[in-house]
Amino acid sequence: MKLTTTKRLERLHDRYANGDLSRRTFLSLTAAAAASAGLSMPWMSRALAAVEQVRFDGWGGTVQDAIDKYAFQPYTAKTKIKVVQGTFGDENEIITKIKTAKPGDFQIVHSSGVNYYIKYINAGMNSEINEANIPNMANVLQPMIEPFRKLTPKLSAVPYDYGTTGIAYNTKVISPEEAKEKGAGLLLDKKYAGKVGGYADMTTRVWYAALATGQDPNNIKDIDTIWVKVRETRDLAKKFWSSGAELMDLLSKGEIVVTDAWSGRVAALQDQGHPIGYLDPAGSYAWMEDMLILKGSPMAECEELINFMLDPATSIAVAEGQSYPPSLDPTKVKLTEKIEKLPAFDKTGSMKALTFADPVYWATNEDAWTKQWDRIAKGA
């Protein structure tokens, strides 16, 4: 569905009626719209034509396949608005691209929660969403929205899914009992030297080192011991993977037998019949993902797409496809049995069982720790 001028004016009126706009602003915008309609030339209508496509950048692989199949394709069929897609393996990669592009070149990013949300805000890349245009946000878990709102009262992103980075292991080599007993310690078990993997990401490495040293990942007291543990894992590791596809490749080909891993990717491997087990040790790293709208994007169309994606039927289909629980509140929306069985699923809707990274704490240390991690990863 293309947004017509009439619909835009109706929305403007709704915002005024809801108290989102002052009377003066409403009258000014209406007058400007009337003037532009009256003064417009034939070529201007083409230049100002309704948006025909929206740009989306995500993590690729099974996750994006599911979003494409269950959200974008039906959305395009319904509205004729095409969703042009790009992928990235590491979110910093897309931030770099956005930095070099002009506003509007990149529009919606499947972003990694509040840790990255801060980066977009610091770089001035964030937009302001009109939540009235996304009525399906009413079904989104409030504990997932709150951390974003703490950073920007006017949101730029809407939480979409969540998961954990737990421990994945090859069940032909490591028994579930052994995995349960050793938990995060498996990543430091010398028995598996040369067969250990891990995500090449500072937060994940520091998080699991904190668990291994008995520290609270959101309040690390002794960072030096953390780096010692990070080095220990590095020395045991065969490869630190940098994308979900690489993780799946390493595990399925038996190159590594234990690694920290994204719950959804492990679920996908299990669906494919690979002998891979998964467990979330105590304090396992939980994360959420959101649909972030960037500055310069066609807001109405992007909001409309996100609203479509949050429609329970769409969101559930995507969640089942990508194997990550949706951000829908299970106390408000009836979710399927398959979703309820997904790793990390929180049936209470309170999210209290999951440990998320404190965005402000991690943002404070991000620069120094990332630099140190990059060095350790290269043998320092």
Partner 1 sequence: MKNRWTLYDPRLAWMLIAPVLLLLIFFLVLPIAVMAVYTFFTFVTAGVETSALTAANWHEFLTDSYYHGFLLKTLRVGAMTALLCGVLGYFPAYFIWATSFKHKWLLLLLLIVPFWISFTIRTFSWINILGEQGVINVALIKMGIISEPLPMLYTEGAVIMGLLHFLLPYMILNVYVSLESIDRTLISAARSMGCTSAQAFREVTLPLSLPGLAAGLLLCFVLAAGSYVTPQLLGSGRDALFGNLIYDTIMSELNWPMGATLSIVLFVVLGFFAAIYTRYMGMSQIVKGLGG
Q: Which residues bind partner 1 (CB under 8 A)?
A: 90, 92-93, 95-96, 99, 119, 122-123, 194, 200, 234, 237-240, 253-255, 366-367, 370-371, 374-375, 377-380
d(CA 355, CA 288): 11
Smallest gap from Cβ 186 to partner 1, in A, equals 19
**Angle at alpha carbon of residue 154, lines to 319 and 94, rounded to 5°:** 55
C-beta closer to partner 1: residue 224 or 367: 367
User: Which C-beta is closer to partner 1: that of 31 or that of 123?
Assistant: 123
CB of 297 to partner 1, least distance (A): 18
Q: Could you give the angle at which helices 142-151 and 113-122 cross, rounded to 10 degrees?
A: 20
Minimal distance, residue 96 CB to partner 1, in Å: 5
Mutual angle of helices 359-377 and 113-122, in 10-degree steps: 90
Q: Which is nearer to partner 1, 95 or 187 (CB)?
A: 95
Closest among 350, 372, 369, 364 to 162, alpha carbons compared:
350
Cα separation, 54 vs 290, whole angstroms: 17
> Among positive and negative, which fits the CA dihedral 144, 291, 313, 323?
negative
Q: For the CB of residue 104, give the shortest distance to partner 1 in the complex, in Å.
A: 18
Among candidate residues 224, 151, 212, the one with its CA nearest the CA of residue 186: 212
Is the Cβ of residue 136 or residue 233 nearer to partner 1 in the bound state?
233
Query: From the CB of 367, what's the least distance to partner 1, in Å?
Result: 6
- Rank residues 305 and 377 by Cβ distance to partner 1 and give the closer one: 377
Tell me the sheet residues that pair with 260. 167
